[in-house]
Amino acid sequence: MAQRIDVKDLDIYYGDFHAVADVSMTIDPRSVTAFIGPSGCGKSTFLRTLNRMHEVIPGARVEGTVAMEGVDLYGDDIDPVAVRRQVGMVFQRPNPFPTMSIQENVLAGVKLVNKRISKADAADLVEQSLVGANLWNEVKDRLDKPGAGLSGGQQQRLCIARAIAVKPDVLLMDEPCSALDPISTLAIEDLIAELKQSYTIVIVTHNMQQAARVSDRTAFFNIAGTGKPGRLIEMGDTGTMFSSPTEKATEDYISGRFG
C-alpha cells in the first residue's frame, strides 16, 4: 500500500554539522516526487531520513517529525528495522550481491525477514518481483546465474526487484540512473511510471529532463554557501516548477544557470 508522508520541521545533523534545515513537505502516495538541487545541498541526506538510514552514521541525528499515514517514524516505539522494510531504497550504483544468483539477489531482503519461506512461495515471489521490475523476460532462463553478470541497467532493475520483493510501501531512489546509459535510463523511467501505481516514490536526480519526465511533484533544495545547511526552497507540481517557479533560485537552477 502506498503511503503518504508528512515531514514537519526537520533538521538533520552530522554531529555538530547542521546539514539540512527546517524541511516541511508532504509526499503524496501513488505519485513520484523528485528532489533536485546542486550537489551538497542535502538531497541524499534528507532522503535517508525518510527510512531512518541517516542515523546509522555515528553522530548523525534528526529533529522534527517524519509521519507516515500519521505515524511518526521517529516515535519511541518504532523499530527502525521495520521502517527500512516499509521504505525501500535503491542507490546510485547498482549493488547486487556479487556472489549471489539472480534469484538469490531478489530474495536477499526477504530472507532476512522470513527465513522459512517455502520453495514454491520463493519461486512465485521471484517471478512476481522480476515481472514488477520489468526484468523477468530477460532473465527467466538464467535465474541461477550470478546477478553480477547482468548489464548495468539490468542490475539496477534487479536491485529494484530486490527492493519490491519485501513489499514496501515507499521506494526511495537516489540518482538511480546516474551510472546508466540512455537506453537503460529510459527503461528505469518506464518502470518508475508503472511502479507509481502501487508505491509512493521519491527520486533524487541531477537530470532536469528526468525530473520533468518522471515526476508529478518536484522539490528544489539549495544551499546558501559552504558549511551552511541545505534548505527546501520550493516544492510544487512538476509542470509549474519547470515553467513558472515562484523563486528566482529555482528558475536559475532549472535553466542551468548554476549547480
User: Where does this chain bind Mg ion (CB under 5 A)?
Assistant: 44
CB nearer to ligand ADP: give 129 or 222: 222
Work out which of 19, 90, 202, 212 binds ligand ADP, going by CB under 6 A.
19
Calpha distance 204→211 (Å, rounded): 8
β-strand pairing of 87-90 with 32-36: unpaired
Residue 96 in grid coordinates: 547486487
The label of the residue with cell 526484468 reads 135
CB nearer to Mg ion: give 57 or 112: 57
SS3 assignment, position 92: coil
| Residue 46 Cβ vs ligand ADP, minimum distance, rounded to whole Å | 7
CB nearer to Mg ion: give 3 or 44: 44
CB nearer to Mg ion: give 43 or 157: 43
Residue 232 in grid coordinates: 527546501
Size of the residue set binding ligand ADP (CB under 6 A) = 13
> 29 is in the binding site of which of ligand ADP, Mg ion, none (Cβ under 5 to 8 A by kind)?
none
> 42 is in the binding site of which of ligand ADP, Mg ion, none (Cβ under 5 to 8 A by kind)?
ligand ADP
Residue 258 in grid coordinates: 548554476
**Which 155-194 positions form the footprint of ligand ADP (CB under 6 A)?**
none
CB nearer to Mg ion: give 44 or 101: 44
Calpha distance 10→67 (Å, rounded): 11
| Residue 17 Cβ vs Mg ion, minimum distance, rounded to whole Å | 16
**Which 21-50 positions form the footprint of ligand ADP (CB under 6 A)?**
37, 39-45
Please list the residues that pair with 236 across neighbouring strands: 218
Report the candidate in 91, 97, 88 with the shortest Cα–Cα distance to residue 166. 88
> 57 is in the binding site of which of ligand ADP, Mg ion, none (Cβ under 5 to 8 A by kind)?
ligand ADP
Calpha distance 125→131 (Å, rounded): 10
| Residue 140 Cβ vs ligand ADP, minimum distance, rounded to whole Å | 36
Residue 26 in grid coordinates: 508532504
SS3 assignment, position 248: helix
Q: What are phi and psi of 246, to 5 degrees?
A: -80, -40
> 19 is in the binding site of which of ligand ADP, Mg ion, none (Cβ under 5 to 8 A by kind)?
ligand ADP
> 157 is in the binding site of which of Mg ion, ligand ADP, none (Cβ under 5 to 8 A by kind)?
none
Name the DSSP letter for residue 124.
Answer: H
Residue nearest to Mg ion (CB): 44
Q: Which residue stretches of 41-91 are H helix?
A: 43-49, 80-86
Calpha distance 144→163 (Å, rounded): 19
**Which 214-233 positions form the footprint of ligand ADP (CB under 6 A)?**
230
Residues in the site for ligand ADP, rule: CB under 6 A?
Answer: 14, 17, 19, 37, 39-45, 57, 230
